[in-house]
Amino acid sequence: MKNLLKDLYNHKIMSKEEAKNALISLTDGSANSSQISSFLTIFLMRDITSEELDGFREAMIELSLQVDIDGEELIDLCGTGGDGKDTFNISTISSFVVAGADIKVSKHGNYGVSSSCGSSNIISHLGHKFSNEVDSLKSSLDISNICFLHAPLFHPSLKNISPIRSELGVKTFFNMLGPMVNPIQPKSQLVGVFNSNIFRLYSHIYSKTDKNYCIVHSIDGYDEVSLTGAFKLFSNNHDIMLEPKDLDFNLINSDKLTGGKNIKESSEIFLNILKNNGTREQVDAVLANSGLAIYCAKKLPSIKEGIEIARESLESGKAYNCLKLFIENK
């Protein structure tokens, strides 16, 4: 690690394989805490390349707890976090709307990064017990169309790195990796990223996979389709910029998407929306994201068709029923 750090200080760019091996060495005990901290901060001072990020991705998947569940019919909805917008849990709510449309969801999540309450905070507060047992995950999928993979349970190799990330208190490349390293590796994925550089990196990496994917970035910095302005979409079929009006939505003021001040308020917002009692703006943001995910998973002719399926899932109560079944399945 010492020699690699010297090379990186001298502006070395790692190959994919070198990046993969470097990340593995961070987790196997051969690097001390100072070296780990130094390695992480290097990529705060220069942009990470797509080859380096892809190498880190492969290492994380290889090091993760293996889950014997076929991801062919599954989708994940996940953002990088780190956008600093403190929105309510749009992607997590959207996951249950997608599940209500009879699409299997393997949701990979963690505690909050860009908001006070991430998906794991909400899910645990509502009474779900995290598990990395395959039988438990399969049962959840069978009963409620959704399973939740709490990231720390599936990436035990990061136990030495996590405290250092917390002490640094700034975003690192691990914030970019989260959506890429779902241990089930679902065939379909809706990914939101918080800046245009990460959008470019993700687009390059995903274009080389066999996934069904939609990568989104709202121009004003949201890691999801916020409907607060235009957003970029890169998918198997598109590389376009869209406005809310293109999907028959009105423009939303950013303050309408603010999350709760604490876990109690955040959970109330979460439940109200799934009960179809959210504000117009909250519901529209959820329908835009869940509709796009349904479009991706079902390979529909248009995003608008996915939005209408999402609307039926929410308004019929199917989405909320999936949540109830998910929580009740101990």
Q: Tell me: do 137 and 279 sit in the same domain.
A: yes
69 within domain boundaries: no
Q: How far from the centroid of its chain's Cα atoms is residue 219's Cα? A: 18
Q: Tell me: do 116 and 184 sit in the same domain.
A: yes
Residue 42 structural domain: 2-63
* One-letter amino acid for residue 328 of the chain: E
Core vs surface per residue 280-307: b (16+ CB within 10 A) or e: ebbbbbbbbbbbbbbbbbbebeebeebb
The pLDDT, as a whole number, for residue 43 is 95
Of 157, 155, 168, the closest CA to residue 29 belongs to 157
The pLDDT, as a whole number, for residue 113 is 57
Q: How far from the centroid of its chain's Cα atoms is residue 227's Cα? A: 18
- Alpha-carbon gap, residue 194 to 79, rounded angstroms: 8
Tokens standing for residue 10? 């001298």
Q: How far from the centroid of its chain's Cα atoms is residue 149's Cα? A: 11
The pLDDT, as a whole number, for residue 69 is 96
Q: Tell me: do 163 and 134 sit in the same domain.
A: yes
68 within domain boundaries: no
Q: Tell me: do 93 and 58 sit in the same domain.
A: no
Q: Which of 16, 39, 63 is the last residue of a domain?
A: 63
The pLDDT, as a whole number, for residue 321 is 98
Q: Tell me: do 233 and 308 sit in the same domain.
A: yes
Furthest CA-CA distance within the chain: 60
If you ran DSSP here, which 8-state letter would residue 101 be given? T
We report the CATH number of the domain holding residue 192 as: 3.40.1030.10
Q: Which of 42, 63, 84 is the last residue of a domain?
A: 63
- Alpha-carbon gap, residue 54 to 201, rounded angstroms: 9
SS3 content of the chain, % helix, strand, coil (to 5): 50, 10, 35
267 within domain boundaries: yes
Q: Can you give the pLDDT of all 330 residues of the chain as single tens digits? A: 999 999 999 999 999 999 999 999 999 988 999 999 999 999 999 999 999 999 999 999 999 999 999 999 999 999 888 788 889 999 999 999 999 999 999 999 998 754 568 899 999 999 999 999 999 999 999 999 999 999 999 999 998 898 898 888 888 899 889 999 999 999 999 999 999 999 999 999 999 999 999 999 999 999 999 999 999 999 999 999 999 999 999 999 999 999 999 999 999 999 999 999 999 999 999 999 999 999 999 999 999 999 999 999 999 999 999 999 999 986
- DSSP letters of 201-242? HHHHHHTTSS-EEEEEEETTS-SS--SSS-EEEEESS-EEEE
Q: Tell me: do 45 and 81 sit in the same domain.
A: no
Q: Tell me: do 94 and 180 sit in the same domain.
A: yes
Structural domains counted in the chain: 2
The pLDDT, as a whole number, for residue 171 is 80
92 within domain boundaries: yes
Q: What is the pTM of this model?
A: 0.95
Alpha-carbon dihedral angle through residues 88, 320, 146, 264, given to the nearest 10 degrees: 40
Tokens standing for residue 265? 């308020």
- Alpha-carbon gap, residue 168 to 138, rounded angstroms: 37
Q: Tell me: do 186 and 47 sit in the same domain.
A: no
Separation in Å, CA 326 to CA 143, 147, 267 = 7, 8, 15
